[in-house]
């Protein structure tokens, strides 16, 4: 018995790495994420690459600033399935949950999650046994 050919499923590409909860660790995570995306065929400075870089920078900076627990690293995970790129950053502090807050007049900070909210198709926070994972999903344009 011959059936119709089964359409090929897109491969699932994954990158996972732990980094020290320092500014240097956040910078290294952002740089390695861009290299990995390029290796996956997402060109540097493409709209998807630039949006991913903004999100990785924001999530890793927040993990270092607000999610840091002594002796604990943070983890970056990238997953590409078809046209959806999922970015996850996990840290060890559950009680500091990110949220978009009202704009404060002449504030020097607090814009990062507004940018994430503007460029991501979806984003959120999930609890882990220790800490939390902040995630965002982007689609290819």
pLDDT of residue 105: 52
Q: Where are the domains of the chain?
A: 12-100+109-139
Check: CATH 3.30.565.10 for 12-100+109-139?
A: yes
pLDDT of residue 112: 81
Short-list 28, 36, 58, CA closest to 120: 58
- The whole-angstrom separation of Cα 12 and Cα 29 is 20
Name the pTM for this structure. 0.85
Residue 48 CB partners (closer than 8 Å, separation 6+): 37, 42, 85, 138, 140, 141
Tens place of pLDDT per residue across the chain (141 aa): 567 777 777 789 999 999 999 999 999 999 999 999 999 999 999 999 999 999 999 999 999 988 777 778 999 999 999 999 999 999 988 765 565 556 655 555 567 888 999 999 999 999 988 889 999 999 975
Type and span of the H or E element at 59: helix 47-65
For the chain, strand residue ranges (E) read: 12-19, 74-81, 84-91, 122-127, 132-139
pLDDT of residue 52: 98
Residue 78 dihedral angles phi and psi, to the nearest 5°: -115, 135
Residue 51 CB partners (closer than 8 Å, separation 6+): 119, 120, 138
């Amino acid at each position: 018995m011959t059936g119709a050919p089964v359409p090929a499923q897109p491969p699932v590409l994954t990158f996972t790495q732990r980094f020290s909860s320092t500014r240097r660790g956040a910078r290294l995570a952002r740089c390695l994420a861009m290299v990995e995306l390029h290796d996956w065929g997402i060109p540097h400075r493409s709209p998807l690459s630039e949006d991913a870089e903004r999100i990785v920078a924001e999530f890793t900076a927040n993990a270092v600033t607000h999610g840091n627990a002594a002796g604990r690293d943070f983890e970056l995970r990238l997953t590409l399935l078809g046209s959806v790129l999922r970015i996850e950053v996990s840290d060890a502090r559950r009680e500091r949950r990110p949220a978009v807050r009202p704009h404060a007049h002449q504030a020097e900070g607090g814009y990062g999650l507004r940018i994430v909210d503007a460029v991501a198709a979806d984003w959120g926070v999930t609890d882990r046994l220790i800490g939390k994972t902040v995630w965002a999903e982007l689609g290819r344009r």
